[in-house]
Chains A and B, each alone.
Chain A
Amino acid sequence: GAGVSQSPRYKVAKRGQDVALRCDPISGHVSLFWYQQALGQGPEFLTYFQNEAQLDKSGLPSDRFFAERPEGSVSTLKIQRTQQEDSAVYLCASSSPGLAGRSSDTQYFGPGTRLTVL
C-alpha cells in the first residue's frame, strides 16, 4: 500500500465499552509500533512487534490493553472496559529495520484513531 492506514479514524465509546483499533502497516514492513498521544503531548510508546512476535509491551498502561499481530501484518489494539483517561489519539507506525532485531529505523506513521470515551 501507499502508506500506513488505520481504522476507524474516529471512535466514540461509552465508558465500559470494549474497542478495537486496526492498523495496516506498509507491505513488507517487519516492525510495527503502537503509540498513545494525548492532546498537546508527544507520542507515548505502547508496544512493539517484529513480525508476529510482540517483543515489548512495557508501555501498555494496564491489563485492559491488548495488542496482537497474528500473521505479522495487520495489527489490532484492543481496549477493554474503556475509561475516560483512555481518550487519546492512537498512532500506529511501521518500519523495516536494517539490522535484525533493531527498532531504530525510520518509522512511518498512520493517521491515527482518535478515541473519545464519554
Chain B
Amino acid sequence: GQQVMQIPQYQHVQEGEDFTTYCNSSTTLSNIQWYKQRPGGHPVFLIQLVKSGEVKKQKRLTFQFGEAKKNSSLHITATQTTDVGTYFCASNYGQNFVFGPGTRLSVLP
C-alpha cells in the first residue's frame, strides 16, 4: 500500500535548539498535512500544504512542500518545552488517508 516515511524517528534537543522533521513519499502527493500529538493526547491539525514548493509559517514553525510534491519538512526554531510531542505528516490517497510513523520530539529544559 501507499507509504509515507518520516525521519528521524526520535529527536532529543536542548531547549532553544532548532528541530526539523522530514516526510517522504515514493509517489507524488496531492497535498500534505501536519499534525501534532502530545503524550496521551490525540492528533491536532497544524497545517495543510497543497502547492509545489509551498512554504508556510506559523510563529516558530516553518512548513515546506517539495517542488516534486514528494517530500515535506517541518522546522521549529528555538524549541520550547511546549513543543514536546510527536509530529506526523499525512496525505490522502484517494479516499484513504495515510499517516507517517511520526517523529517524537523531546525538549530538555
Contacts and interface: CB of A to CB of B under 8 A. Distances in A.
Interface in B18-46: 30-31, 33, 41-45
* Interface band, chain B: 20 to 34
Interface string B66-109: 00000000000000000000001011101111111110000000
B interface majority secondary structure: strand
Contacts, number: 56
A56 B99 contact: no
A42 B100 contact: yes
A103 B102 CA distance: 21
B52 interface: no
B97 A45 contact: yes
**3 A-B pairs closest in CB distance:** A56-B95, A42-B99, A109-B42
